[in-house]
């Protein structure tokens, strides 16, 4: 069965963002793991090629080997720097430039947070930072809410991808508004990847069934009791949801329709 | 030799001078390939670390990648 899934997946087009193509539609974060060894095993199991990282001060009083690059091979994974923790456009732009300077690529997962309790985006700051960074040659992947108008403005501002949330960051509440996500996907030309809120494999599958181009997740894997096994479950769920979307599901009916022939009954 | 007081990652430090940013990283035992350096809010690219002098009172940020989502 695994072989069949792999063969079918080959018929899918790659995920292309900002001129780069990826086979896997699952993108994963590197935060919150109990150990670096567990993180590496989970990322391997997920099959992800794009891996997000945060930019932070070096802790000068501790081991210099706590940097992520000592644990994750940047030639094997596409490192996507984020601007997590930034509350203004200016701050996010500063972090994006620092992330680019690390020297791996021009991509940034742009976050401009507007509220500490919900971590929902400051959409005005987000659009403004997207405009600035896109003009500087960044491939901006913008974390946003599930609002169509904001998504359209981000596309106009030059975002390479728009990343609406399924539900708040780290909440694990799953896809709260499938309609909004479907609508955003239908209206945008740039890739739409759902970022944040997925809690378990069925959430990932349902999200992919809406037709989005991919999913980025972190906590659902990192906080699972067995992170590597959850990563594998997420990999299958993303593939299953994608195949279900591509295959075109049956219509919903309010009445039953028998599966066995009525003709030939005794 | 002089003593320079600089702010590194928000904390005041006294370092041996004259020093370039490359010297500062060496004094802190940091691999320049693993960090990005910002001097007074301007990024200093790696090739320029060895030619950029640290001045008394400068503010230096040393950042790297850590786990994040």
Residues A96-118 have pLDDT tens digits of 999 999 878 999 999 999 999 99
Is residue A109 part of the annotated active site? The answer reads yes
- Quote the CATH superfamily of domain A2-247: Aldolase class I (3.20.20.70)
Residues A145-156 have pLDDT tens digits of 999 999 999 999
Q: Which residue of A has its CA nearest to B36?
A: A102
Q: What is the pLDDT of residue A6?
A: 57
Contact call for A53 and B67, based on CB within 8 A = yes
- Domains of chain A: which residue ranges? 2-247
Q: What is the pLDDT of residue A184?
A: 98
A174 has a pLDDT exceeding 80: yes
Residues A58-80 have pLDDT tens digits of 998 876 567 888 899 999 999 99
Residues A12-36 have pLDDT tens digits of 899 999 999 999 999 999 999 999 9
State the ipTM, two decimals: 0.94
E-strand stretches of chain A? 15-17, 20-22, 26-28, 50-57, 78-82, 107-110, 139-144, 161-164, 193-195, 214-217
Please give the mean pLDDT across all residues of chain A.
94
Rounded to an integer, the average pLDDT of A190-195 is: 98
A5 has a pLDDT exceeding 60: no
Residue pair A204/A47 in contact by the 8 Å Cβ criterion = no
Q: Is A198 helix (H, G, I), strand (E, B) or coil?
A: coil
Residue from A188, A169, A167, A158 nearest A113 by CA: A169
A1 has a pLDDT exceeding 50: no
Q: What is the pLDDT of residue A3?
A: 52
Across A63-67, A211-215, A249-253, B11-15, which has the greatest mean pLDDT? A211-215
Output b/e per residue, A145-180; b: 16+ Cβ within 10 A: bbbeebbebbbebbbbbbbbbbbbbbbbebbebeeb
Beta pairing partners, B42: B39
A157 has a pLDDT exceeding 50: yes
User: Is-cis flag, bond preceding B18, omega within 30?
Assistant: yes
To the nearest whole Å, the CA of A26 is away from the closest chain B CA by 13
Residues from chain B contacting residue A84 (CB–CB below 8 Å): 68-69
A221 has a pLDDT exceeding 50: yes
For chain B, list residues with pLDDT below 50: none
Longest alpha-carbon distance in chain B: 45
B2-63 maps to CATH 1.10.1040.10? no
Between positions 27 and 46 of B, the ones with CB within 8 A of A are 28-31, 34-36, 38, 41, 43, 45-46
Separation between Cα atoms, residue A69 and residue A102, nearest integer Å = 10
Contact call for B30 and A64, based on CB within 8 A = yes
């Amino acid at each position: 069965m695994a072989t069949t899934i792999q063969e079918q997946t080959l018929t899918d087009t790659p995920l292309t963002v900002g001129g780069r193509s990826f086979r896997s539609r699952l993108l994963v974060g590197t935060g919150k793991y109990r150990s670096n060894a567990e993180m590496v095993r989970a990322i391997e199991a997920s099959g992800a090629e794009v891996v997000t990282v945060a930019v932070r001060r070096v802790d000068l009083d501790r081991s210099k080997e706590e940097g992520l690059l000592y644990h994750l091979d940047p030639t094997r994974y596409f490192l996507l720097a984020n601007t997590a923790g930034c509350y203004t456009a200016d701050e996010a732009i500063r972090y994006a430039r620092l992330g680019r300077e690390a020297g791996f690529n021009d991509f940034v997962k742009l976050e401009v947070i507007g509220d500490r309790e919900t971590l929902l985006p400051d959409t005005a700051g987000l659009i403004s930072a997207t405009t600035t960074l896109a003009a500087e040659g960044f491939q901006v992947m913008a974390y946003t809410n599930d609002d169509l108008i904001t998504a359209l403005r981000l596309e106009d501002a030059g975002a390479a991808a728009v990343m609406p949330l399924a539900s708040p960051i780290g909440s694990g509440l799953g896809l709260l508004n499938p309609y909004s996500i479907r609508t955003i996907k239908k209206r945008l030309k740039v890739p739409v990847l759902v970022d944040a809120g997925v809690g378990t494999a069925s959430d990932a599958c349902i999200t992919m069934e809406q037709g989005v181009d991919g999913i980025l997740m972190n906590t659902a894997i990192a906080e699972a009791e067995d992170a590597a096994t959850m990563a594998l479950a997420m990999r299958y769920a993303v593939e299953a949801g994608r195949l279900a979307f591509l295959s075109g599901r049956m219509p919903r009916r309010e009445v039953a329709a028998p599966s066995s022939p009525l003709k030939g009954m005794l | 030799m002089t003593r320079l007081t600089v702010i590194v990652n928000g904390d005041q430090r006294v370092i041996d001078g004259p020093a370039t940013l490359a010297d500062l990283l060496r004094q802190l035992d940091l691999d320049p390939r693993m960090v990005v350096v910002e001097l007074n809010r301007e990024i200093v690219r790696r090739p320029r670390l060895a030619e950029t002098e640290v001045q008394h009172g400068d503010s230096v940020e040393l950042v790297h990648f850590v786990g994040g989502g």
